[in-house]
Amino acid sequence: MKPLDRSEVVRRSVSVLICGLAGLLPVIGLFPAVSAVIQGIRIRRAYPEPNPVEHYRRWGMALGTLCILLNVCAVIIMIINLIAVANRGYWVNIG
């Protein structure tokens, strides 16, 4: 990856924060959350100097990670509920 200049780092760090905030949306926020984490890692690797807006990148990555974990927990809860309903069986009352 090519080295980044200071203005590009600022723009990308703010983009990471915005993607992290968009990641708080329940289902469709998973894609921006993953994007925030990946972009944050790429910025950290491509810019060796101190980042002037490092706190934006860190918050965006933290929110993205939180969103990913919340979505994984929601999927696990849904699977557990589906298994519980399937074990109870389905009853149809006729008459």
Q: What is the pTM for the complete model shown?
A: 0.82
Instruction: For 35-66, write each residue's pLDDT tens digit.
Output: 999 999 999 998 888 888 999 999 999 999 99
Helix, strand or coil, per DSSP, at residue 11: helix
Question: Which has the minimum average pLDDT: 11-20, 27-36, 43-52, 65-74?
Answer: 43-52
Q: What sign does the CA torsion over 39, 64, 80, 94 have?
A: negative
Residue 94, pLDDT > 80, answer no
Structure confidence at residue 55 (pLDDT): 95
